[in-house]
């Protein structure tokens, strides 16, 4: 069944109909808020807050966009607000976990892993808004229009911001890698 079926049932008073929506989007919301909140317990709490807010405001969902897009916007705003309150802009570079490769893995795989780790370190130093925009567009593979809606930016501003973030990442990556 599609999301609108469950939304209708919730709005008619069937509280149990909200469970399938939570189950369906739990990992997406968690992944999104984890971008600005690396502490797993805190990220889980934020994800729960997102679902509570969505439930409380479900009657305001107009259906002009997908429920997932509307929910991601709530998650985006909740995560950014939390990051601003904590005045934490990005994750500590020390918290990046580096996976050890076995000796028999190729040098190419090791180089890709080093590049990935370097890029993750750089991304973790970006402001939360920039991390979220990258996550929505590249990790979640959302269309630019959806990213604009979720972030509350205009479509042209979203395109410009993502372009500038990519350029910034490239320059930072080039300056930190040998």
Nearest-5° angle of CA 68, CA 72, CA 73? 120
Each residue of 74-116: pLDDT tens digit?
988 888 888 877 654 444 434 433 333 333 344 555 666 677 7
For 21, 32, 79, 160, the CA distances from 25, given in Å and listed in that order, are 6, 11, 16, 29
According to DSSP, residue 95 is labeled G
Residues of the chain under the 70 pLDDT cut: 86-113, 177-178
> Is the pTM value of this prediction over 0.75?
no
Q: How far apart are CA 149 and CA 97, in angstroms?
A: 32
Q: What is the pLDDT of residue 99?
A: 37
Q: What is the pLDDT of residue 108?
A: 55
Listed by start position, the domains of the chain span: 3-90+106-176
Q: How far apart are CA 163 and CA 165, in angstroms?
A: 5
Q: What is the pLDDT of residue 63?
A: 82
Q: How far apart are CA 139 and CA 116, in angstroms?
A: 14
End-to-end alpha carbon distance in the chain? 52
Task: State the fold for domain 3-90+106-176.
Answer: Rna Polymerase Sigma Factor; Chain: A (1.10.1740)
């Amino acid at each position: 069944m599609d999301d609108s079926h469950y939304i209708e049932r919730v709005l008619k008073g069937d509280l149990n109909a909200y469970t399938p929506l939570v189950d369906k989007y739990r990992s997406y919301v968690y992944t999104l808020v984890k971008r600005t909140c690396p502490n797993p317990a805190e990220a889980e709490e934020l994800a729960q807050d997102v679902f509570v807010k969505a439930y409380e405001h479900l009657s305001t969902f107009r259906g002009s966009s997908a429920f997932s897009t509307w929910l991601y916007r709530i998650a985006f705003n909740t995560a950014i607000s939390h990051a601003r309150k904590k005045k934490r802009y990005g994750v500590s570079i020390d918290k990046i976990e580096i996976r050890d490769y076995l000796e028999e893995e190729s040098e190419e795989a090791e180089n890709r892993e080093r590049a990935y780790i370097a890029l993750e370190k750089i991304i973790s130093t970006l402001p939360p808004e920039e991390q979220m925009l990258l996550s929505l567009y590249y990790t979640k593979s959302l269309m630019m229009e959806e990213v604009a809606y979720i972030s509350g930016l205009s479509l042209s501003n979203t395109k410009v911001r993502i372009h500038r973030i990519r350029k910034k990442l490239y320059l930072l990556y080039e300056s930190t890698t040998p």
